[in-house]
Structure 1
Amino acid sequence: MDIKQKIENLIGCDPYVKMLHRDFEKEIQIDYEASEYYRKYRLPSGEPLSEKKQIEYLTKAQILNTIVRKTSVRTRLTKAKLWQQISEDINTLDKLRFPHNLPSNPRSLQRVTKKYKTEGYESLVHKGFGNANTRKITQDVGEWLIAMYALPIKMSIPEIHTIYNQRRKEKGWCKISESAIKAFIFTPENEKIWTVGRHGKSVYRADFGHKMKKDKSQWFPNCWWAIDGTKLDWVHYYDNTIKMAAKLKIDPVIDVFSEKILGYSYSETEDHTDHFKAIKMAVNNSHARPYLFTHDRQSAHTSARMQELYKNLVARQGGTTYPHKARRHSNPVEQIFLRFQKQVLNKMWFSDKQSVTSKTHDSRPNMEFISENKHHLKSKEELLAAFEFCVNKWNSMKHPHFEMSRDEVYQQEAPMSESISFSDQIQMFWIEETTPLPYRQDGIRLTVNKKKYLFEVYDNDGKVDTDFRFKNVGAKLIIRYDPQELDNFVQLYKLNSKGEKVFVATAEPKRGHESIPVLMEEGAKALIMQDEAVQDIEYQRDSQKLEEIRKRTGVTPENLIEEQELMIKLGGSAPKYERSIAESESFLDQL
């Protein structure tokens, strides 16, 4: 093998021929206009061209620009030989430097060049690129498709395609496929529009709403507390046909910085008493005021009594409270509690995970297992101890952003803090009824959490306070109470002439009496007689007071009778002087 053959094998062609073709390569010029055109080009779907496609189309445009220049200059070559040479020139270009897919056949290359001269840069974009079917979706068709898919009845693509075919001839629309409709509907800009109508504002915000980033660099313990009630996904014993249920709710108060659960309430409801109990536990555990306290817009939070509590709870220097914005991702409790649920609560064997309707199998409970062991299920009261265990476990676990537990993060020194005194707690955690209630014959009634209470005022000896009853039966009083002390006592206030609250008395739950002798406890009969005697005592007291008033005023039933008898006897015609003498004598006779 000679040297020439070795060189040809190495470079893949005749080196002398390659030198001839280099002249074509040198004539290729950068086309800045084409570069800008393909950079701004948008497909029917609205998407830009990929960088790879932009380079390919730009290269083809620059090569075709060179071909147009060469074919516009006179030459001794025939037209066929000229195109043959140009074809050979293009075929020898380095594909790494000049990536293109121009045809190698001279006739085909000539047709492409002719079309390029007529249509320009647009002619190089593949007609099927970006789904040619979407080109048939005009503005009016596109808007109709979006409007149909946005309907809240949530029709499927095949259903819309069927309706489209029924109407297209009447409307003069082109035939399109289901895949073309789907490609159009699910472009990002269209998806945002139909989501508003199809799924609503909350889904739109969850999927497309702009999210802000919180700067947490200056946060510290008790900087921000948040409360939010949620279902407790635990199965417990319940007196129904299947002997089990998951009806409990939990209302946690969380220190957002440390993620420590400071307090909670545990019940089948989520009313203001649950919020009250959770906050009271948080204060008892922290002995501090938060600088920010947030809650949701549930009516129990927005009630006057709870708003007053929240305002008294936050720090007096710079403290703020407000509700989370509706349907926004501004509630940190939801995010923290979700991790608490996944990492701790759902690990208990009686957890119902995220309910039987959850999409993933790992998020559903094994109901067969729970049903087989339902005789081991805990009562609602027993679950409270289990929840307390889980809270302690969560608080002692490592914080996701610190090399220490949540308890340890919470104990870190804060740049500012405001403690809450015992007297402040007493003042804060007494709820005051906003509407005065009447103190009736049997006492004063109060309804809390749909439970009715009846209270009565007793004296220091445990007897019904008849002096209080004398002044206040029939009066309207304001009740202040601690929801956790309703079985012990409440406080009663009245408004003075200036509208100021004045303490009146402490009332206790009204005692009941057993009427069946065999069931009576020792001393019960004496207590019954003592309470029964109240009526007689009060009647004798009030009768005596009336007699004393009658004596002082002379206004008595007997006087009334004598006056009327005298008027009848005299026919009302006696002179004033005679009537006064008769009346004075009648009055003196009674002394």
Structure 2
Amino acid sequence: MFEYNHNNILCIQASWIVESGIVSEPNYKQLCSRGHLKKLTIGGNGRKALIQFDTMRSDIKSKVIELAGDPYEKVTTITFVDYIEQDQKASNFYRNYTLDNGEGLPEKNIKEYSCNASIINAINTIVNSKIAQRKALAGSKANIWERIAEVVSELPKHTYPHSLPKNQRILRNKIKNYLKDGYEIFIHKSFGSKNAEKINDAAKAFVLACWTNPVKRVSNYTQLLRIYNEEAKVQDWKLIKSEQSLINFLSDPKIEPLWWANRFGELKFKEKFMMPFKTTLPSMRDSLWYSDGTKINLYYQTKDGKMKTINVYEVMDSYSEVFLGYHISENEDYESGYQAFKMAIKISGHRPYQISFDNGSGNKKLHNGGFFDKISQLAIKTQPYNGKSKTIESVFGRFQTQFLAQEWNWTGQNITATKLSSHSNMEFILANPDKLPTLKELKTIYQEKRTQWNQAPHPKTGKPRIDMYYESINPDAPKVTPFQMVDFFWIERSVPITCTSSGVSFKEKKVQYDYVVYQQNSRTIDQEWHVKNVDQKFYIKFDPDDMSLIYLYKKTPLGLKFVTAAETKIEIHRGQQEQEDWEAQYYRNQIETIKQTRITIQNQVEANLQKHNMSAENYGYRTPNLKGINSNRKSKKVKNDIAQYQKKVSEMVLTEDNESIYDLM
């Protein structure tokens, strides 16, 4: 049941603890999660789960020894650390100790002093037992105290935060004094004394003002002590010899909050002193979308060879961490947010329940214009100066380090990042500026990295993020209809456009756009609609990213009323040499449609005239034929028609007497 792992640490099999009835299986899992049982190896695939013996809770350890005996007497090789057991009495003593100033010991010192006591207890056990010396010191023939001092100095400080001396003589004297005077020996006599009381109230206020001065900053305690003593001579205050008095005053829990923000900033103050909310992320897609603009941490080269970075605005689904929409641009303006959300809703196909955004100038314009309220049910600004409330920032940080950092032109993270891996290899980048990607290539790289991120496993579920998103259903996030897309993202021209015989035309950003209304599911112009709507005024909406389609509206007392859609007017080559095969047929179809429209209108007019006995024939005159059309209408051929007249006019030369048109008939 007892064995050593590869680091020579004494362990006990977890299965034996449960099977022997010392703890139940549910209790065992709970003890592991709380740290009362430290698991060094995980069971499975033939392995046995092992628990570190010396870190077990004292009551559990006692039950193990009662059932299995003392493991240290059963093994031949154990390490020095195996003799180090937590001295609970020492821990209680330091935790309940009261200093001269009426306060308790800081937690750091409680851990330090308790560890000192535990290590000395282990040393005392080893020194008084030859067997223990052979086991703990591996039979070393060196002086026992030399070996002990060496072992103590090698103890890892993160596990054993002791302050015992490295010198064997000083260490030995320390142990003698400890065995004689007890736990109090480690507490410095000046620690916690009323040094701060040497400073009167006026002096305290002066010290606090110096320490929080935002302009003439005091950089350290040595400078503060000098400034204080100079002022003390003027004010007749008591001089201070040690910086500790100032440290004791400024580190007082009642004083520390008064200067922390001035020294380290408001955000650091909030992180240290303000209790954050405990929140749970959404359990379904489209419940909450986060948006934020940030820098793409990749260098690229401009057309003139300069090295630059560029910004990106991202929209992310909080549930799945899927990046839904983005837009790359020089500035984080309103257009970036508009385009990113447009892409997100196109990909999602649903209207999010809530979106969260910061108070950037671009977002402010979109919010004030009602854009965010249109595309979501709730539009909420994230709390300013509270980075923890913006989940997208931490997610994007992981995206940078896990995916963008794979590229050689990575800029590194923020300059405040402490890890070496968080910084770029500028020597290599500066040596190869000509190999940097162009902006177009950078956009392609970024798109690929986003795809990899969306396809990568989510850290909590292990499923690909994109699968999590599409497999989730949110009943409160309705599908977006085509007309809603128009309402959300299309631009409305404030000035109406007049429909002419050529269709509907307007200029946008100095570019001319021409549109006509086509018959449904056809590329044939709806001539009947155009005839009826010539000179009519329409308000239009269009998608600036796709100018091939516009919507026409009429303004009513209740708002805009949709009329129809118009599409880009098809152009054909006038010369047959450059015409494609479809153009000739298209031209013939349109000519035939125009003829049929003219015939239909003429027939309607003639039928109405005849009904009321008002046609030309009723008066003994002839109705002219429709020119260029072979219709079934019966009429006598007119000797002189309009075509002949126009021909003669075009060839006519005016004389001084200006011949009358009657002379041409």
TM-score by length of 1: 0.56
Give CA-to-partner distance per residue, 1:148-173, whole Å, 9 cap, x none.
Answer: 22222333124433322221122232
**1:324 aligned to 382, 390, 402, which one?**
382
Does residue 204 of the first structure (1) align with residue 262 of the second (2)? no
**1:411 aligned to 463, 470, 480, which one?**
470
Does residue 265 of the first structure (1) align with residue 327 of the second (2)? yes
Aligned CA distance change for structure 1 residues 438 and 136 (closer, same or farther; 3 Å): farther
> Counterparts of 1:97 and 1:185 in 2: how far apart (Å)?
36
Aligned CA distance change for structure 1 residues 390 and 41 (closer, same or farther; 3 Å): same
Tell me the CA shift for residue 277 of structure 1: 1.8
Q: What residue identity is the alignment partner of 2:191? A: F
Aligned CA distance change for structure 1 residues 415 and 427 (closer, same or farther; 3 Å): closer
Tell me the CA shift for residue 427 of structure 1: 2.5
> Counterparts of 2:534 and 2:248 in 1: how far apart (Å)?
80
**2:278 aligned to 182, 191, 213, which one?**
213
Aligned CA distance change for structure 1 residues 505 and 272 (closer, same or farther; 3 Å): farther
Match of 1:171 in 2: 235
Match of 2:371 in 1: 309
**2:545 aligned to 470, 480, 484, which one?**
484
Q: How many residues are treated as equivalent by the alignment?
A: 398
RCO higher in structure (CA 8 A, sep ≥6) = 1
**1:393 aligned to 444, 448, 452, which one?**
452
Q: What residue identity is the alignment partner of 1:389? A: E
Match of 1:541 in 2: none
Structure 2, unaligned runs of 5 or more: 1-91, 115-177, 499-504, 518-524, 570-577, 580-665
> Counterparts of 2:102 and 2:345 in 1: how far apart (Å)?
57
Asked whether the equivalents of residues 516 and 568 of structure 2 are also in contact (C-alpha less than 8 Å), the reply is: no
> Counterparts of 2:506 and 2:474 in 1: how far apart (Å)?
48
Asked whether the equivalents of residues 334 and 366 of structure 2 are also in contact (C-alpha less than 8 Å), the reply is: no
2:298 aligned counterpart, secondary structure = coil
How does 1:526-541 map onto structure 2 within 5 Å?
none
> Counterparts of 2:230 and 2:531 in 1: how far apart (Å)?
86
Match of 1:235 in 2: 299
Q: What residue identity is the alignment partner of 1:191? A: E
Match of 1:136 in 2: 198
Aligned CA distance change for structure 1 residues 197 and 494 (closer, same or farther; 3 Å): farther
> Counterparts of 2:223 and 2:266 in 1: how far apart (Å)?
24
Tell me the CA shift for residue 231 of structure 1: 0.8
Match of 2:358 in 1: 296
Q: What residue identity is the alignment partner of 1:339? A: R
Asked whether the equivalents of residues 226 and 253 of structure 1 are also in contact (C-alpha less than 8 Å), the reply is: yes
> Counterparts of 1:179 and 1:372 in 2: how far apart (Å)?
51
Match of 1:340 in 2: 399
2:297 aligned counterpart, secondary structure = coil
Match of 2:218 in 1: 155
Aligned CA distance change for structure 1 residues 237 and 98 (closer, same or farther; 3 Å): closer
Aligned CA distance change for structure 1 residues 453 and 294 (closer, same or farther; 3 Å): farther
Tell me the CA shift for residue 365 of structure 1: 1.5
Asked whether the equivalents of residues 228 and 251 of structure 1 are also in contact (C-alpha less than 8 Å), the reply is: yes
More off after superposition, 224-233 vs 43-52: 43-52
How does 1:32-181 map onto structure 2 within 5 Å?
41=98, 44=101, 47-48=104-105, 99=182, 128-130=190-192, 133-153=195-215, 154-157=217-220, 158-176=222-240, 177-181=242-246
Asked whether the equivalents of residues 41 and 49 of structure 1 are also in contact (C-alpha less than 8 Å), the reply is: no
Structure 1, unaligned runs of 5 or more: 1-34, 57-94, 103-124, 447-451, 511-521, 524-591
Q: What residue identity is the alignment partner of 2:308? A: A
Aligned CA distance change for structure 1 residues 168 and 221 (closer, same or farther; 3 Å): same
1:234 aligned counterpart, secondary structure = strand
> Counterparts of 1:386 and 1:426 in 2: how far apart (Å)?
29
Tell me the CA shift for residue 348 of structure 1: 1.0
1:337 aligned counterpart, secondary structure = helix
Q: What residue identity is the alignment partner of 1:278? A: A
Aligned CA distance change for structure 1 residues 459 and 482 (closer, same or farther; 3 Å): closer
> Counterparts of 2:180 and 2:224 in 1: how far apart (Å)?
48
> Counterparts of 2:464 and 2:195 in 1: how far apart (Å)?
58
Match of 1:185 in 2: 250
Match of 1:244 in 2: 307
Give CA-to-partner distance per residue, 1:428-451, whole Å, 9 cap, x none.
Answer: 443446x946989xx9776xxxxx
Aligned CA distance change for structure 1 residues 421 and 140 (closer, same or farther; 3 Å): same
Tell me the CA shift for residue 273 of structure 1: 2.0
Tell me the CA shift for residue 468 of structure 1: 9.8
Tell me the CA shift for residue 379 of structure 1: 1.2
Aligned CA distance change for structure 1 residues 444 and 156 (closer, same or farther; 3 Å): farther
Asked whether the equivalents of residues 218 and 224 of structure 2 are also in contact (C-alpha less than 8 Å), the reply is: yes
Asked whether the equivalents of residues 251 and 278 of structure 1 are also in contact (C-alpha less than 8 Å), the reply is: yes
Aligned CA distance change for structure 1 residues 45 and 184 (closer, same or farther; 3 Å): farther
Aligned CA distance change for structure 1 residues 227 and 49 (closer, same or farther; 3 Å): closer
> Counterparts of 1:188 and 1:342 in 2: how far apart (Å)?
37
Match of 2:651 in 1: none
Match of 2:588 in 1: none
> Counterparts of 1:268 and 1:179 in 2: how far apart (Å)?
52
Match of 2:489 in 1: 430
1:227 aligned counterpart, secondary structure = strand
> Counterparts of 2:474 and 2:481 in 1: how far apart (Å)?
23
Give CA-to-partner distance per residue, 1:476-503, whole Å, 9 cap, x none.
Answer: x976442423x5566676755x373356
Tell me the CA shift for residue 221 of structure 1: 2.1
> Counterparts of 2:283 and 2:486 in 1: how far apart (Å)?
29
> Counterparts of 1:493 and 1:395 in 2: how far apart (Å)?
40
1:232 aligned counterpart, secondary structure = strand
Tell me the CA shift for residue 143 of structure 1: 2.6
2:446 aligned counterpart, secondary structure = helix
Give the fraction of aligned pairs with identical amino acids, expressed as a percent. Answer: 26
Does residue 402 of the first structure (1) align with residue 487 of the second (2)? no
Asked whether the equivalents of residues 429 and 482 of structure 1 are also in contact (C-alpha less than 8 Å), the reply is: no
Q: What residue identity is the alignment partner of 2:543? A: D
**1:380 aligned to 439, 443, 452, which one?**
439
> Counterparts of 2:245 and 2:533 in 1: how far apart (Å)?
84
Tell me the CA shift for residue 199 of structure 1: 4.2
Q: What residue identity is the alignment partner of 1:156? A: S
Asked whether the equivalents of residues 456 and 507 of structure 1 are also in contact (C-alpha less than 8 Å), the reply is: no
Asked whether the equivalents of residues 495 and 501 of structure 1 are also in contact (C-alpha less than 8 Å), the reply is: yes
Asked whether the equivalents of residues 430 and 480 of structure 1 are also in contact (C-alpha less than 8 Å), the reply is: no
Tell me the CA shift for residue 324 of structure 1: 0.7
1:222 aligned counterpart, secondary structure = coil
> Counterparts of 1:261 and 1:375 in 2: how far apart (Å)?
31
Match of 1:281 in 2: 343
Tell me the CA shift for residue 194 of structure 1: 0.9
Asked whether the equivalents of residues 196 and 245 of structure 2 are also in contact (C-alpha less than 8 Å), the reply is: yes
Asked whether the equivalents of residues 211 and 259 of structure 2 are also in contact (C-alpha less than 8 Å), the reply is: yes
More off after superposition, 377-386 vs 350-359: 350-359
